[in-house]
Structure 1
Amino acid sequence: MDYNVRHIRLSKINTSDQTFRITTNSDYSDLTPSISQMGVLQPPMLVPKGEGFIVVSGFRRISVCQSLSLVDIPARIINDHASGFDQAQMAIADNAFQRPLNTVEQSRALALIQRFAPDETDWHAAARLVGLPTSRKAVQRLLPIADMPESLQMAIVNGSIALPVAISIRTLHQDDGTALSLLFQKINTGLNNQRELFELIVETAIIKEMSVSRLLEQQDITSIFADDNTPMPQQVQRLRQVLKLMRYPELSKAEDAFHQAFKGLKVDPAIQLQPPRFFEGQTFRLSLSVRSRQQLKRLLADLEKIAGATQILPE
């Protein structure tokens, strides 16, 4: 593709036009030392637009030059007769040949080349040329990411939100999606937990007839994260419990009834009986804390009480 290298004043470059931006990395500190000492060794690519230029590739390099208060920089100026499809291919190639593209960058690249391609055959061929996935399954998985808010895209990149969950969040109202994204980025838990919490939160919001964002502002939920001394895994477990009780109010009644019945037996505190979590199973956990055989013998009578308590244990 035709281009020529010449020096361009930074003030003439419109970096707010993000049409061709592929990279998700906004940190340019790794480039600053080399550019400050040796200058721009690989000029960014620009294309004329109006009275100035827009960036096809090299957003981070230009940001470094701006931070160094440079007046002008060398740039590769693409022929203004080049089509948008040609420019898109240049942008993708310049990024893809420097490093492996992450999931969000692949999505942006696919969306960009699909947007400017004259027909489906051309964009598939161009995508394959720069190493992008072109199978139907991969394209269907990746393309929706390009339309996600940047905050959600960044959460995918840093691993705080799993891709399947991010796709589900994308279906929510913007305020709800943002609130849920912030929550998952805060707790940074695994895919299975994210999936379960997503379902609990959305279903609970529907039952409570309130938005997801309002639900997450409830005192029962916000108070969970107020204690900085509690490890995050425990906070996540507590969140799950609170949501379960909100989603299934009958669980609260069952839990209260169980504890009242067990308390009524007046057994030794050395004996603890835990019901199935959320009463979803049939296995109760019995634990004993003893220091001697004599103490154990004294506890046998209390164990008989529990064994005979039909209101606590099933037959």
Structure 2
Amino acid sequence: MAPLPIQPAQYQTVPLTRINLQNDDFRITTCEDVEDLLASIQHAGLISPPLLIKQSSAYTIVSGFRRVAACRKLGWSEIIARILEPEFNHLACLRLAIADNALQRPLNLIETSRAFQKLSSFSGSLKQLAETASKCGLPTNHSIINKIKGLCRLPLPLQNSILNDTISLSMANELAMLEPDTAVDLARLFEQLNLSLNKQREIVTLIGEIARREDISIRQVLAFEAFQHILTDGDLDRGQKGRKIRSFLRQRRFPRIVKAEQYYNTHIKKLKLNHEIKLIPPKEFEGTTYTLNLNFTSLTHLKTIQSMLDEILQHASFKKIVEDKDPHSDKGD
């Protein structure tokens, strides 16, 4: 991080009543809980006094929001603080706020987004924003800035899902393209099911395609009775619910393919194939080309498999699989 110019800051005793807690101009941290600070401050005092700047008759917090809140909770009437000169400009204060937070611990995605949003007020272009960000130790890649910058403006439940790692940066950007209420519903669904990114994407894709195909909203898809029945089934764990929901959505989106798959699985079970013989259907049951895999260790073993294969070729279920090209002729996919 490029060093910030040292500016004079005087240590003063400030009444807590004169600190404006409503002004969030320089708030970067997403954490508002102060329980972890109470014992430390009671025992050792304010090791690192908050940084304030005087504006009119009150003081604005530049950094140390949680420290100030903890002192108020402890019932203190005044604190020692570092006071910046009134002429200290807004951008310089903001850079100090970002630096103070970043030096304590790595900024999370929402905090980084807040920093970008606040800095963008002083940048006329993405290039200028990247240059300013570099002086604060923030990412400078234009693509990364674009992906992160808007996160802090997402609905709070969505921001919380990002903070607790329920959804990734890439999924957050996908959900950001949806209606806010819809995005929140999906984030809550992912939190409830604890799904991986790939499975989240599968569900978002399937639900979106179903909504377009049936000319309904995504929220209406989420409200399907069968969908909600799976979610509220107390006999299923999260993994089972996730699998059943993905299966339901896939069947709703690709009814012909799912029926063909069910037809295939019914008859493949009747063949009772073992690890030596594997029949692979056409991809998505389109086309007529099947693949037969044989696993053998010797010529004698292969002759044994040949005998088994002769029986399979005469089996009624094998003929149904291979010769009955389209047992379910609905063309709705």
**TM score, norm. by length of structure 2:** 0.75
Q: Deviations over 1:108-132 (max 9, x none)?
A: 2222222235887765444223321
Identical positions, percent: 29
1:98-137 mapped onto 2 (5 Å cutoff): 98-117=104-123, 123-137=129-143
Instruction: Check whether the contact 2:264–2:321 (CA below 8 A) recurs between aligned residues.
Output: no
196-205 vs 12-21, which moves further: 12-21
CA distance in 2, matches of 1:231, 1:274: 32
Shift, 1:162, TM fit? 1.3
Compute the displacement of 1:271 (Å). Answer: 8.6
Counterpart-to-counterpart distance in 2, 1:139 and 1:114: 11
Q: Distance in 2 between matches of 1:220 and 1:30?
A: 44
Does structure 2 conserve the Cα–Cα contact (< 8 Å) formed by 1:180 and 1:212?
no
**Distance of 1:98 and 1:160 partners within structure 2:** 24
Q: Structure 1: which amino acid aligns with 2:198? A: N
What whole-Å deviation, never above 9, does each CA across 1:186-221 have from its counterpart, x for those lacking one? 222222112211111222222333332332122211
Do residues 308 (structure 1) and 310 (structure 2) align?
A: no
Q: SS of the counterpart of 2:115?
A: helix
Q: Answer whether contact 1:261 1:311 (CA < 8 A) is retained.
A: no
1:60 to 47, 52, 66: 66
Q: Cα deviation per residue 1:17-56 (whole Å; 9 max; x = unaligned)?
A: 3222212233333222111222222112223345433322
Asked if the contact 1:3/1:78 (under 8 Å) is kept, the reply is: yes
Structure 1: gaps of 5 or more residues: 286-296
2:173 is matched by which residue type in structure 1? I
Q: Give the Cα–Cα distance (whole angstroms) in 2 for the partners of residues 76 and 190 of structure 1.
A: 46
Flag the 1:204–1:67 CA change in 2: closer, same or farther, 3 A. Answer: farther
2:233 pairs, out of 227, 230, 234, with 227
Once structures 1 and 2 are overlaid, which stretch shifts more, 166-175 or 190-199? 190-199
Quick check: 1:35 aligned with 2:38?
no
CA distance in 1, matches of 2:216, 2:173: 22
Q: CA deviation at 1:176?
A: 0.8
One-letter code aligned to 1:132: L
Asked if the contact 1:108/1:146 (under 8 Å) is kept, the reply is yes
Q: Is the 8 A contact 1:307 1:313 kept in 2?
A: no
Distance in 1 separating the partners of 2:177 and 2:284: 32
Q: CA deviation at 1:227?
A: 2.8
Contiguous gaps of at least 5 residues in structure 2: 1-6, 294-307, 327-333
Instruction: Determine if contact 2:19/2:59 at 8 Å carries over to the other structure.
Output: yes
Indicate conservation of the 8 Å contact 1:84/1:116, yes or no.
no
Deviations 1:210-245 (A, max 9, x none): 332332122211222223442322221111111112
Whether the aligned pair in 1 keeps the contact of 2:148 and 2:169 (CA below 8 Å) is no
- Report the equivalent of 1:293: none
Q: Secondary structure at the match of 1:189?
A: coil
Aligned-partner SS, 2:320: coil
Pairing 1:177–2:183 present: yes
Secondary structure class of the residue paired with 1:46: strand
- Whether the aligned pair in 2 keeps the contact of 1:47 and 1:79 (CA below 8 Å) is yes
| 1:152-191 matches, cutoff 5 A | 152-191=158-197
> How far is the alpha carbon of 1:161 from its aligned partner?
0.2
Say if 1:278 and 1:220 are closer, same or farther in 2 by CA, change over 3 A: farther
SS in 2 for 1:61: helix
Kept in 2: contact 1:148–1:170 (CA 8 A): yes
Is 1:243–2:249 an aligned residue pair? yes
Determine the C-alpha separation between the residues in 1 that align with 2:322 and 2:281.
15
CA deviations 1:72-127 (Å, max 9, x no partner) are: 22222322222211111111111112222223322222222222358877654442
Number of aligned residues: 298
2:130–2:142 Cα contact (<8 Å) kept: no
SS at the partner of 2:204?
helix
Change (3 A) 1:149 1:301: closer
For 2:316, give the aligned amino acid.
K
- What is the aligned partner in structure 1 of residue 102 from structure 2? 96
Name the residue aligned to 1:203.
Answer: 209
CA–CA distance in structure 2, aligned partners of residues 36 and 181 of structure 1: 39
Determine whether 1:215 maps to 2:226: no
- Alignment deviations for residues 260-287 of structure 1 (CA, whole Å, 9 cap, x no partner): 9859x9x69x8999997995586799xx
TM-score, normalised via structure 1 length: 0.79
Over 3 Å counting, the alpha-carbon distance change for 1:301 and 1:43 in structure 2 is closer
How far off its partner does 1:15 sit?
Answer: 2.6
